[in-house]
Amino acid sequence: MNRTIFVTGTDTGVGKTVLTALLTRRLRAHGRPTLAVKPFCSGGREDAEALSAAQDGEVPLAAINPWSFRAPLTPLLAARRAGQSISQTEALDFLRQARRQCEVLLVEGAGGLLSPLGEGYSLRELIRGLRGEAIVVCPNRLGAINQVRLVVASLPPGAQKNARIALMATAQPDHSAASNLRLLAEFFGPERVHSVPWLRDVAPPTITPHLGHRLDSLLRPQ
Ligand SMILES: [Mg+2]
Q: Which of 38, 99, 141, 192 is catalytic?
A: 38
- Structural domain span for residue 133: 3-219
What does the pLDDT read at residue 206? Answer: 78
Residue 25 maps to which CATH number? Answer: 3.40.50.300
Phi/psi for 180 (5° steps) reads -55, -45
What does the pLDDT read at residue 201? Answer: 64
Q: Has 38 been annotated as catalytic?
A: yes
Domain count, the chain: 1
HSE-CB for 65 with a 13 A CA cutoff? 22
**Element containing residue 107 per DSSP (H, E):** strand 104-108
Query: What is the CA 100 to chain-centroid distance, rounded?
Result: 19
What's the 149 CA to ligand 1 centre distance in angstroms? 21
What's the 50 CA to ligand 1 centre distance in angstroms? 9
What separation, in Å, do the N-terminal and C-terminal C-alpha atoms of the chain show?
13
- The DSSP code sequence of 78-101 is HHHHTT----HHHHHHHHHHHHTT
Q: Kindly state the greatest CA–CA separation across the chain.
A: 47
What's the 203 CA to ligand 1 centre distance in angstroms? 12
Determine how many CB atoms are found less than 10 A away from the CB of residue 189: 12
What does the pLDDT read at residue 204? Answer: 67
What's the 69 CA to ligand 1 centre distance in angstroms? 14
- Environment class of 5 (CB within 10 Å of its CB; exposed 0-12, middle 13-18, buried 19+): buried
HSE-CB for 211 with a 13 A CA cutoff? 19
What does the pLDDT read at residue 74? Answer: 97
pLDDT beneath 70: ranges in the chain? 1, 201-205
What does the pLDDT read at residue 51? Answer: 96
Angle at 70 between CA 67 and CA 74, to 5 degrees: 70
